[in-house]
Chain A
């Protein structure tokens, strides 16, 4: 069974940093691209970043480019999102998702909540 478990969320002040993790199990992690998608409270879904299976290719959304960095460690079956210069508008539930998110076979975690507030 595919499992994606996010962690690392919490309360942080504006301008602060946070690192999210997503631990994967039940599949060959190194064979899949991975994504972060977020959802602000009561709002819609927003793709944040994606990374290729090898980690060689990384893409970030306009709203986070230059502040967030996606990475992975295939030896640890883990995906990361380093978030810096956090803003109030970054407050959201952050989901980890396996594979191209518009393709068959995608799987999602249950999310970790990030709250940016003074």
Chain B
């Protein structure tokens, strides 16, 4: 199975900061990567699909990049509602795997 790692596992930042989260796949997955946001007690919400495509309705401050094994999620200017846990997800081989998550907290 393809393994996904994320860094950092947790992050503290101020409102207005630019934040980057990285995700690495154990083998090449082309651009078959998505990013999810999850708030406490809520279902996950898709932010980015195909590594860099913004899901409809998601603010443009969110962006994704990368291909093959290395990917990033960037939030250009953190807003109070962005404090949540973020997961990457690969779906290259019909056996999707999530990264362990990055918890983004207010500093």
Mark A94-110 against chain B: 1 for CB-CB distance below 8 A, else 0.
01000011111010111
- Interface residue A46 (Cβ < 8 Å from any Cβ of B): yes
Q: Which residues of A contact B60 (CB under 8 A)?
A: none
Query: Would you give the shortest CB distance from B25 to chain A, in whole angstroms?
Result: 12
**How far, in angstroms, from A108 to B45 measured CA to CA in the complex?**
8
- Interface residue B11 (Cβ < 8 Å from any Cβ of A): no
- Interface residue B33 (Cβ < 8 Å from any Cβ of A): yes
B49 touches A104 (CB 8 A): yes
Q: Which residues of B contact A111 (CB under 8 A)?
A: 43
Number of A-B contacts (CB under 8 A): 57
Known contacts A45-B89, A45-B98, A47-B98; can you find 9 more A-B pairs with CB under 8 A? A37-B44, A45-B36, A47-B95, A59-B95, A95-B44, A102-B89, A103-B49, A110-B43, A111-B43
**How far, in angstroms, from A53 to B48 measured CA to CA in the complex?**
23
- Interface residue B67 (Cβ < 8 Å from any Cβ of A): no
Query: Would you give the shortest CB distance from A22 to chain B, in whole angstroms?
Result: 13
- Interface residue A115 (Cβ < 8 Å from any Cβ of B): no
Residue of A nearest to B89 (CB): A102
- Is chain A's binding surface mostly helix, strand, loop or mixed? loop
- Interface residue B12 (Cβ < 8 Å from any Cβ of A): no
Q: Which residues of B contact A95 (CB under 8 A)?
A: 43-44
A44 touches B49 (CB 8 A): no
Q: Which 4 A-B pairs have the closest CB atoms?
A: A102-B91, A102-B34, A108-B43, A47-B96
Query: Would you give the shortest CB distance from A5 to chain B, in whole angstroms?
Result: 12
B91 touches A45 (CB 8 A): no
**How far, in angstroms, from A111 to B44 measured CA to CA in the complex?**
11
- Interface residue B53 (Cβ < 8 Å from any Cβ of A): yes
Query: Would you give the shortest CB distance from B34 to chain A, in whole angstroms?
Result: 4
Of A37, A101, A109, the residue contacting B34 (CB under 8 A) is A101
Instruction: Take A44-B87, A45-B36, A45-B87 as given contacts and tell me if A101 and B43 are in contact as well, using a CB distance cutoff of 8 Å.
Output: no
Instruction: Take A45-B38, A45-B44, A109-B43 as given contacts and tell me if A104 and B87 are in contact as well, using a CB distance cutoff of 8 Å.
Output: no
**How far, in angstroms, from A106 to B58 measured CA to CA in the complex?**
13
Q: Which residues of B contact A7 (CB under 8 A)?
A: none
A47 touches B97 (CB 8 A): yes
